Each structure stands twice: as C-alpha cells, then as structure tokens.
C-alpha cells in the first residue's frame, strides 16, 4: 500500500510488503482443486498476507487517511495463493463469487464507497474488474461483489503445478477518514473447478524407464499415468494363445492435456516390434477404452511400452487376456455392418397420429387458373346480369386470383431454397469438415474445444440458415407440432464419418493403423454429430401445423454453457431467441444417459454407436419458437380465400346458367305462341 502522508508511512510501508511466506504450521494443500476452489483473503501476520483454503490470521487490517480530491491516496494490496498450486486443474469459465469487505468511514461519520481496481491472475490468464466510487455517502456499508462473472481464459484453461494464483486490488481514497479490510471469511473468492488431478499421486505406480521395465504378469491390473513425455514399460511372458488382447482404459481429462494414444510398442526379447494389431476404441463420455488384439504371437518374453507427450497428463489402467474371444464390439465380429442415427430419440409427440405434409404443387394452381378463365368468360358475356356480374363474379374472381393464383405462386417461391440457405446434407458435411480441420496436428487445444462444443458447428455470432423437407408432423400434448425429418431415418453415421476420413490424404500410416488425430476425429465426430442431430430433432417444433412440407430455419447463435464432458463438450452455442435458462433446462433433460462410440481399425473400418436416450425429456423442456418457420403463401388463409372465390364463381355460374335456361324457355314458349297465331 502506498500513501502520501508522512504519518501514514510506517503502516503503509508494512502494507506495501504483503508477500507470500509459507508457514509450516499451515496444513498442506493442493491449491485450487476440484474439491476445494474457495480462497480466503488472510493476513497471518505483518508481511504475510495470502490466499488460503481456510480463513486464518487477522480479522481486520485498518488505517487512517488524510486524502482529499486534490491529493488522493491509493492503497494497493496483493494476495498470493499459499500453499502453491500442486495439482493440475481445469479452470472454470466463470468466477462463481467474489466478496471484498472493504470499508471507508469518512470524518463526517458516514460510510463512503471508494473506487476499486481488481486483478485476478490465474496462471497466464489475467482478469480485471473495476468498481466505481459512490458519489454520495451511503446509509450502510456494502461489500464489493462479483457473481457468475465470466473469466478470461485466452491463455488456456489448464492451471499447471506451481502456476501463480494472485489477487491484487487497489483502492483510491479521496476523502479523509478511517478504512478497514475485513477478513477471517468476510473477503473471499470461489471457483467451481470442474476437474483436477494430483500428478505425483497418479504417477505413483508407473515404471521408471524404457531401460528398466517393471516385471509383471500380463493378466494383472496395472494402474499408472503418463505425465509429460513419460515412457511406461512392463516386461512379461506371453503364453500360448489364439488371441492376445490388451485393454487400456484412459481416465477422462480435458482436451488440452489429453495424452495422444498411439499403439503401444510390444517388443520381443530379440528387439523386434510385433505386427500391427486390430484396434477398437470405445468412448462412452466417462472414459476412453482402447482394445488392441494380436493373433498367435510367438510365445516368450515381451516388453510393453506406452509413450507420452510433453505438457500432457492422463491416468490409465490396463490388463491383458490370453486366448479369449470377447463378447460385444471388442473385435470385428462384434460390430454391425452399418451404424444408423437413432431417429426418434427426441420425439415427444403422438406417433400414432402423424399428419402428412405436402408442398404447394401446381395442381391447384392450374385448376384455379382454369376456373378463373371460365369465370371471366362467363362474367364478361353481354347477357350476364349486372347483379350477378358485380355481386358474385367480380368478388369471386378477385378472391380466386389472390387465394388461388397469387397465394400459391408466392408459396411455391418460398419453397425454393434461398441463395444463402444450406440443406441438412450440407450442414453435416460442413460439421464434419470443421471437426476434421480442428483435429489436425498443431491446432490449439482451446480451438478444438471451442469448435467441438459448438451446436451444429455454429460459433457465437454465426447465423444458421437452413432449408428442410419435412414429410410428417406429430402433435404434442401442448398443442404444438413436432416435425419429422425423413433424411435422418436412413442416415448412416459410419458412412458420412468415414467418407470425411477418405477425403484426407494421409489418414493411415504404412502399417494401416489409423493415426491418433484421425482416431480423435472419428470419436469426436461420432459424438458431436449424434448430439447435433439429436438437439435439432428435439427443437423442430412449431406452434401451428405447417402449411407446407418445406421448413426454413433462420437464427443467430450465441454463446452458452456447454454440457457433456469437458473432454467432449456439447451444445455450447444456442439460438439467440432461446434464453440461457431455457437452453440449460433443455440440455439437462435431453442429454443422453449414455453415448458410446466404438471404432475398430481392422480389415474393414467399423463404427459402433451405443445410445441410451434420456427418460426425463418431454414437451415442456422444448423452448418456444426460435426461428423455425414453414414456407407460406401470400396470406395466412389463402386456401380458404381460394375456396371462397371458387364457391362464389360457381354460384354465379350456376345462377347465370339457370337464368339463361329460363330465358330460353321463355323464348321458346313465346315463339310457339306466336307461331300459333299466324297459323
């Protein structure tokens, strides 16, 4: 703290030297972790003010100031986290809560709220906030408060071991009086950390190096972690077998620190690398399970080595099996030949009462034109009665012209795909291309995280404009209608995903094994595409039964809290007309009970999708209209107007025909009477 008055000098000098001093009396901690994200402003003694996991030390520090508007004083405080960060932690996107209990009592005896500049440093990320000074004295003192404040994490969400966590704030005093900073739980900040790991503890069971593998039994369960560029190796004997299966389960970690998962080296005693195995990758959102299968390897001593990358950390467990053919998709025989999108998982309407939808065809338009011409011919005949002509024909012709000709022409024009619209097939292609691009080597992990979580691949600020062809609408219990997209019934996830892989030029090594980036893409694409289509299917709801089978979607996307796992986030953007609360409710009720994506890199690349839908999703979770509209004509009731005009025209025609028939009868009768007189 810096002051300008000589009498403040001793105390201000003490406050300016607030630094971290680690005291052995304080219990050891891991800093910010998933279990403990609360940090309290604590002063244990002079020269020792820190952020601690529990309130300790002095209850208050205070002083006097003789500042004024022309000579303000600035008090600067610095708190550094103690103990230092020991875990590796994933920082949250928001600051849950911050409370600063700083009081300033003026000489007049009333509280005054001075201006405060606040800075929070989390690793390499710096966040700044400002609090304005009150212009008038306050009746009662109030804390400086932040709640659910977004954090700037542009330098990365990972807080590594020994990364700094510091809180600095400066208070500008421009009035004389007494100030105090209250602690012992009165001033604190809270971070809801979603994930953390103790690297040293997780690494406890790992082998030492490639030159000194740990002797073990292949079928035992082994636990360890790849911390940085580790090389974990085990030595064991391979017995007589038909199939040797190595099963590795990786703990779920953030994308930013996930280790790559290349095929482990299985080396014989002679130093020869074993042939490439079949690989099955299963991602269920809770862990990543990879099964490697070799057939009929020579018996003898082998060494198994797993390799890590710098700045990555991930725990794992592995075990082996000799001679057993596993059930389920653990080898090629457990996979189906095709993997379809599970259409209907988000349907909440009455499937027993579907309503067929059709486009505005040219049939009615041609009928309307023909009838319009007929009415015009009849109406324009000189013999047509004026009352019928202007009382029925003219209104009927106008109604038929508007409702039967202009209305369908307008609707047919609206059914055409607009220039800036995309189709569902194009949306899928764009989404897969996006995931392929961000899965490439060298793409920043935060970029991968952001694009993976974007709903339908649409980032914040982007606009989704799409045309859909709908065949059926099913009624909901609240009077709305849910639309059925026929293309989803036959959509093969494996076909479109492997089709995108085929567009890459070097997706396979010379040994035929899928590269780690390609495996990452396939797993992310399977999960992201399924979730994108699921929420699209759930949100295709309109208030009224559509007039046309052509649907237009037009909405701008905004940022939203992601759901799912932090390794594979989902639905992190939302339509602008859907509120954040509505979106969170939809996420919570719609997100599946389980999604498992299994990949087999074998003779034929196979993909298996296990999907268990949520049982808590219903129509009340679907937000109101958000940009889904049916192609429409010129008027809301154009068809009714056409029928009315047709009815008037037919009525007028019938009346004219009847009038003409009566006139002819009268003429014939008159002619017969005249002929009789002359004879």
Q: Which two tokens stand for residue 339?
A: 């993997």
Closest residue by Cα to residue 15 from 128, 120, 168, 145: 168
Which strands make up the sheet holding 594-601, listed edge to edge?
222-227, 313-322, 243-251, 287-295, 278-283, 594-601, 606-612
Higher pLDDT, 284 or 660: 284
Terminal alpha carbon distance of the chain: 136
Res 476: pLDDT: 93
Residue 329 lies in a domain: yes
Residue percentage of the chain with pLDDT more than 90: 39
Mean pLDDT of the 83-98 span = 93
- Indicate if 434 and 494 belong to the same structural domain: yes
CB atoms within 10 A of CB 460: 14
In a domain, 34, yes or no: yes
Q: Clarify whether residues 239 and 211 are in a common domain.
A: yes
Q: Give the number of C-alpha atoms closer than 13 A to the C-alpha of residue 108, restricted to the C-beta side.
A: 8
| Stretch 616-632: mean pLDDT | 87
Confidence category of residue 678, pLDDT binned at 50, 70, 90: very low
Domain boundary among 196, 222, 239: 196
For the CA atoms of the chain, what is the radius of gyration?
37
> Count of domains in the chain?
4
Q: How confident is the model at residue 192 (pLDDT cuts 50, 70, 90)?
A: very high
Give residue 459's pLDDT: 94
Question: Is position 344 within any domain?
Answer: no
Residue 9: cis peptide before it, omega within 30 degrees of 0: no
Note whether 31 and 85 are within 8 A (CB).
yes
Report how far residue 19's alpha carbon sits from residue 77's, in angstroms, rounded to the nearest whole number: 10
Residues 84 and 226 in one domain: no
For residue 282, tell me if it sits in a domain: yes
- Would you state the pLDDT for residue 577? 93
DSSP label of 19: B
Please state, in angstroms and rounded to a whole number, the distance separating the CA atoms of residues 496 and 518.
14
3-class SS at 484? Answer: strand
pLDDT tens for each residue of 553-592: 999 999 998 888 777 789 999 999 999 999 999 999 999 9
Region 337-361: what's the mean pLDDT? 83
Among candidate residues 145, 166, 196, the one where a domain is terminated = 196
Strand boundaries in 497-614, DSSP class E: 541-542, 550-559, 563-564, 569-570, 573-575, 594-601, 606-612
pLDDT tens per residue across span 402-450: 666 666 766 666 677 788 899 999 999 999 999 998 888 778 777 888 8
Structure tokens given for 658: 């009847």
CA distance 250 to 259: 9
Question: Residue 304: its pLDDT value, please?
Answer: 94
DSSP state of 7: G
- Same domain for 157 and 71: yes
Q: Which of 359, 511, 538, 396 is nearest to 456 (CA)?
A: 538
**Do both 489 and 586 map to the same domain?**
yes
Q: Please state the pTM of the whole predicted model.
A: 0.65
Q: How far apart are CA 312 and CA 202, in angstroms?
A: 13
Q: Does 127 fall in a domain?
A: yes
> 512-565, pLDDT tens digit by residue?
445 667 888 888 899 899 999 999 999 999 998 887 888 999 999 999 988 887
Pair 199, 227: CB distance under 8 Å: yes
> Contact at 8 Å (CB) between 493 and 341?
yes
Range with the largest mean pLDDT of 152-161, 183-192, 325-334, 633-642: 183-192
Say whether both 28 and 138 belong to one domain. Answer: yes
679/134: higher pLDDT: 134
Do 281 and 153 share a domain, yes or no?
no
Residue 396: how many CB atoms within 10 A of its CB?
24
Q: Count Cβ atoms below 10 Å from residue 462 Cβ, excluding itself.
A: 14
Q: Is 475 exposed, middle or buried (0-12, 13-18, 19+ CB in 10 A)?
A: middle
> Within this chain, do residues 234 and 295 fall inside the same structural domain, yes or no?
yes
Binned at pLDDT 50, 70 and 90, residue 636 comes out as low
Asked if residue 1 is part of any domain, the answer here is no
| Cβ 42 vs Cβ 21: under 8 Å | no
| Residue 375 pLDDT exceeds 70 | no
The answer to whether residues 173 and 299 belong to one domain is: no
Are residues 472 and 505 located together in one domain of the fold? yes
Q: Give the model's pLDDT for residue 147.
A: 95
Residues composing the chain: 679
Strand 73-81 to 48-52 pairing: parallel
Of 608, 630, 652, the domain-final residue:
630
For residue 217, give both structure tokens.
């039994």
Kindly report which listed range (94-98, 385-389, 520-524) carries the lowest average pLDDT score.
385-389
| Higher local confidence (pLDDT), 175 or 643 | 175
Domain carrying residue 387 = 355-414+635-678
340, part of any domain: no
- Phi and psi dihedrals of 653, rounded to 5? -65, -45
CB 465 within 8 A of CB 427: no
Domain of residue 50, CATH code: 2.60.120
Query: Is residue 285 situated within a structural domain?
Result: yes
pLDDT of 279 over the 80 cut? yes
Dist. CA 457–CA 500, nearest whole Å: 15
Residues ≥6 apart with Cβ < 8 Å to 499 = none
Q: Mean pLDDT in the chain?
A: 81
Residue 271's CATH number: 2.60.120.380
Helix (H, G, I), strand (E, B) or coil at 450: helix
| Of 419, 437, 441, the residue nearest 429 (C-alpha) | 437
**What is the C-alpha separation between 492 and 118, in angstroms, rounded?**
53
Residues 192 and 204 grouped into a single domain: no
Nearest to residue 624, comparing CAs of 542, 533, 536? Answer: 542
Question: What's the pLDDT band for 598 if we cut at 50, 70, 90?
Answer: confident
- As beta bridge partners, residue 181 has 61, 102
One domain, residues 155 and 230: no
pLDDT tens-digit profile of 32-90? 998 889 999 998 877 788 999 999 999 999 999 898 888 999 999 999 999 999 999 99
- Tokens 């708190």 map to which residue? 79
């Amino acid at each position: 703290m810096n002051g300008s008055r000589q009498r403040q000098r001793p105390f201000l000098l003490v406050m300016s030297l607030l630094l971290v001093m680690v005291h052995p009396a304080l219990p050891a901690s891991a800093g910010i972790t998933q279990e403990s994200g609360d940090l309290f402003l604590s002063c244990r003694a002079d020269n020792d003010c820190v952020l601690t996991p529990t309130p300790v030390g002095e209850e208050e520090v205070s002083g006097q100031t003789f500042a004024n508007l022309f000579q303000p004083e600035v008090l600067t405080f610095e708190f550094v986290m103690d103990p230092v960060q020991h875990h590796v932690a994933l920082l949250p996107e928001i600051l849950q809560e911050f409370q600063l209990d700083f009081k300033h009592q003026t000489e007049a005896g009333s509280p005054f709220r001075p201006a405060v500049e606040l800075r929070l440093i989390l690793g390499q990320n710096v966040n700044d906030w400002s609090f304005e000074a009150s212009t008038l004295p306050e009746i009662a003192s109030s804390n400086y408060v932040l709640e659910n404040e977004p954090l700037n994490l542009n330098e990365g969400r990972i807080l590594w071991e020994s990364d700094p966590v510091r809180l600095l704030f400066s208070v500008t005093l421009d009035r004389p009086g007494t100030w105090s900073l209250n602690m012992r739980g009165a001033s604190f900040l809270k971070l809801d950390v979603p994930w953390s790991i103790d690297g040293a503890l997780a690494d406890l069971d790992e082998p030492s190096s490639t030159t000194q593998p740990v002797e073990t039994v292949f079928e035992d369960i082994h636990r360890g972690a790849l911390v940085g560029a580790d090389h974990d190796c085990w030595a064991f004997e391979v017995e007589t077998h038909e199939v040797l299966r190595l099963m590795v389960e990786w703990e779920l970690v953030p994308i930013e620190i996930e280790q790559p998962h290349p095929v482990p080296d299985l080396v014989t005693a002679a130093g020869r690398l074993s042939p490439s195995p079949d690989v099955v990758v299963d991602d269920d959102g809770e862990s990543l399970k990879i099964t490697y299968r070799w057939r009929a390897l020579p018996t003898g001593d082998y060494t198994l080595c797993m390799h890590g990358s710098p700045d990555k950390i991930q725990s794992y467990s592995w075990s082996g099996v000799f001679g057993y053919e596993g059930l389920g998709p653990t080898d090629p025989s457990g996979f189906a030949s095709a993997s379809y999108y599970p259409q209907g998982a988000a349907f909440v309407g009455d499937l027993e009462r579907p309503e067929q939808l059709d486009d505005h065809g040219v049939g009615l338009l041609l009928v309307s034109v023909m009838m319009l011409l007929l009415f015009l011919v009849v109406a324009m005949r000189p013999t047509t009665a004026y009352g019928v002509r202007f009382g029925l024909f003219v209104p009927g012709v106008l109604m038929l012209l508007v409702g039967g000709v202009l209305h369908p022409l307008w609707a047919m024009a609206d059914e055409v795909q607009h220039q800036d619209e995309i189709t569902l097939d194009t949306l899928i292609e764009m989404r897969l291309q996006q995931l392929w691009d961000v899965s490439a080597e060298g793409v920043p992990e935060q970029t991968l995280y952001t694009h993976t979580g974007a709903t339908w691949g649409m980032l914040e600020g982007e606009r989704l404009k799409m045309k859909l062809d709908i065949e059926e609408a099913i009624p909901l219990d609240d009077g709305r209608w849910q639309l059925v997209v026929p293309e989803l019934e036959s959509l093969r996830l494996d076909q479109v995903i492997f089709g995108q892989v085929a567009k890459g030029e070097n997706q396979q090594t010379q040994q035929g094994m899928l590269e780690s980036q390609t495996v990452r893409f396939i797993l992310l694409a399977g999960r992201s595409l399924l979730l994108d289509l699921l929420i699209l299917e759930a949100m295709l709801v309109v208030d009224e039964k559509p007039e046309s089978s052509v649907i237009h979607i037009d909405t701008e996307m905004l940022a939203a809290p992601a759901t799912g796992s932090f390794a594979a986030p989902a639905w992190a953007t939302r339509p602008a007309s859907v509120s954040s609360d509505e979106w969170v409710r939809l996420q919570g009720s719609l997100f599946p009970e389980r999604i498992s994506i299994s990949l087999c890199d074998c003779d034929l690349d196979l993909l298996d999708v296990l999907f268990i839908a949520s049982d808590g999703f219903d129509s009340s979770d679907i937000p109101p209209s958000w940009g889904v509209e049916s192609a429409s004509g010129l008027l809301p009731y154009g068809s009714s107007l056409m029928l009315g005009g047709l009815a008037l025209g037919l009525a007028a025609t019938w009346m004219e025909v009847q009038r003409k028939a009566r006139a002819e009868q009268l003429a014939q009768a008159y002619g017969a009477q005249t002929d009789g007189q002359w004879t």
